[in-house]
Structure formats: structure tokens, C-alpha cells
Amino acid sequence: MTALKQLQITDGGNTIDDTLFGLIADDIIKQGYSVRPGALAEEISHSLFAYQQSLTTHKYVDAGIGRGDDYLQNEFVRTDEICWITGESDAGKLWLEWAAALQTFLNQRLFLGLFSFESHFAHYASGDYYKRHYDAFKGEANRVLSIVTYLNSGWTNSDGGELVLYQNEYDKEGLKIVPLYGTIVIFLSEEFPHEVLPANRDRYSVAGWFRVNCSVAGKIDPPR
Ligand SMILES: O=C(O)CCC(=O)C(=O)O
Ligand SMILES: [Fe+2]
């Protein structure tokens, strides 16, 4: 296999693309984040989309802030609903396999020591938002890398619902990212405050976090 032919076909569906992983790694090294429109393999986005559309409302829970003991429902901060991905569905499996391959790649390339991955579907109904926040706090070092991918075809500027990624705690302007089908956004969880602006139509996404292992005696981490 030549150096140019880096597409792996081990999963039979060309869904795992080392070339894309390399571009993401380069972006992270250069700027701490990566925005890749249309990057998620169609087989994965299609499968996630079909599965998410089949989820009935009772499969979702109101989104909270934090997990386990830290879980706190806070409407002031976010109003979307979520459904954790366990890998029971084919769509979930495909996504988790892809994320695991990305995790392995980034660990080899960037020595991030990523240990586990947690992920959920999110549905923002019209008017829903997620106020400016960090996905992880410095010193607590658990969530290292955040990833979001979007499942919305034909999203236009008037649909709102952009992800705004701020460069640091002082940045007021930020970078606006349209939640368009297949776009992948990845960023260092501790470095980039971000928010989801109110959407004017249903907004579907999958968000995930790569974590390092913070287990200490008697306390299992991640909290599952
Ligand atoms: O959906 C997005 O664009 C980002 C969601 C987010 O920030 C989160 O779930 O922590
Ligand atoms: Fe977030």
C-alpha cells in the first residue's frame, strides 16, 4: 500500500479515514480545534440520522450539566434534550467504532492519553440553546477533547442554532459554525468556551468527549 493510499478499509465501508484523522490532528496542533465541513463518512451520518429520527421522545432526557453526582438540571444554561449512545444500535456502534479509531490515532500522533469516550444524541427544538460554557475545568482534567457532529440538511443562516467557539475566556466574538449535516467540530475541552445559539428549527447533533483516566483509590473514573 502506498503512502498516498491511507484509506483503511478494515471496516468494509471506508468509514475510517486516516487522511481525515491526520488533518484533524494537524488542526489541533496548530490551533487547538478543528472544523471540518462534510467530513463525516456518509454511511455514519446517514445511520446516525436515521436512528436519531427513530428515537421517540421518551428515549431522551432533559440535558443536565455534569454526570452522576454532579448532574444538575439547569434550564438557565441549556434547554436541549439528550440520549446517551451505548452501542446497542448499529448506528451507535458505527459511531463509537469511528470515535475509537480517532482516539487511537490521536493518541499515537499527539500523545493525548485519551482513555475513554462518552457520547450522546442531542435534540434542540426551536428556541432551545446552550449558554456559553466549558466542557471541562482546568485542574479537573477529565474531559480532554470535545467532538460534535451535525445531522441537519439544508441548514441556512436564518435557522440560527450556530455553535460559537470562543478563543479564550475574553473572546466575545467567537467563530460561528453552522450545524450542517456531516460537519465535524473538535476542540480541546478545557481551552474553548462555546455556546449554542437558539435554533429556529429542530437541530440534531451528536456530541462526545474523550476523557483521560482520573481514577483514584476507591473512586472509579469514568463514572459509569
Ligand atoms: O451542539 C453543539 O454545537 C455543541 C453542544 C455542546 O456544547 C455540548 O453538548 O457540550
Ligand atoms: Fe459544550
Closest ligand to Cα 66: 1
**Structural domain boundaries enclosing 88:** 54-211
- pLDDT tens per residue across span 129-157: 999 999 987 767 689 999 999 999 999 99
Tell me the three cell numbers of residue 31.
Answer: 490551533
The verdict on residue 120 lying in a domain is yes
Is 195's pLDDT higher than 80? yes
**Whole-prediction pTM value?**
0.87
Mean pLDDT of 177-181: 98
The verdict on residue 220 lying in a domain is no
Residues 6+ apart with CB under 8 A from 224: none
Model pLDDT, residue 1: 41
C-alpha 128/C-alpha 60 separation (Å) is: 15
Pocket flag, ligand 1, residue 207 (CB < 6 Å): yes
Model pLDDT, residue 3: 39
How many structural domains compose the chain?
1
Is 7's pLDDT higher than 90? no
The verdict on residue 136 lying in a domain is yes
Model pLDDT, residue 117: 96
Name the range with the highest mean pLDDT among 28-37, 51-60, 207-216.
Answer: 28-37
Percent of the chain at pLDDT exceeding 70: 82
Average pLDDT over the chain reads 87
Measured in Å, residue 121 CA sits from the centre of ligand 1 at 10
Pocket flag, ligand 1, residue 205 (CB < 6 Å): yes
Whether the ω angle into residue 179 lies within 30 degrees of 0, i.e. cis, is: no
Measured in Å, residue 22 CA sits from the centre of ligand 1 at 23
For every residue of 183-199, DSSP letters joined together read -EEEEETTT--EEEPPB
Measured in Å, residue 42 CA sits from the centre of ligand 1 at 21
CB 189 within 8 A of CB 146: yes
The verdict on residue 45 lying in a domain is no
Tell me the three cell numbers of residue 109.
Answer: 500522533
Model pLDDT, residue 87: 86
The verdict on residue 121 lying in a domain is yes
Q: Which atom of ligand 1 is nearest to the CA of 179?
A: 3
Is 2's pLDDT higher than 50? no
Pocket flag, ligand 1, residue 123 (CB < 6 Å): no
Closest ligand to Cα 65: 1
CATH number of the domain within which 74 lies: 2.60.120.620
Tell me the three cell numbers of residue 23.
Answer: 488533518
- pLDDT tens per residue across span 81-131: 899 999 889 999 999 999 999 999 999 999 999 999 999 999 999 999 999
Site to substitute for ligand 1 among 119, 148, 195, 211, most atoms within 8 A of C-beta? 148
The verdict on residue 7 lying in a domain is no
The verdict on residue 146 lying in a domain is yes
The verdict on residue 206 lying in a domain is yes
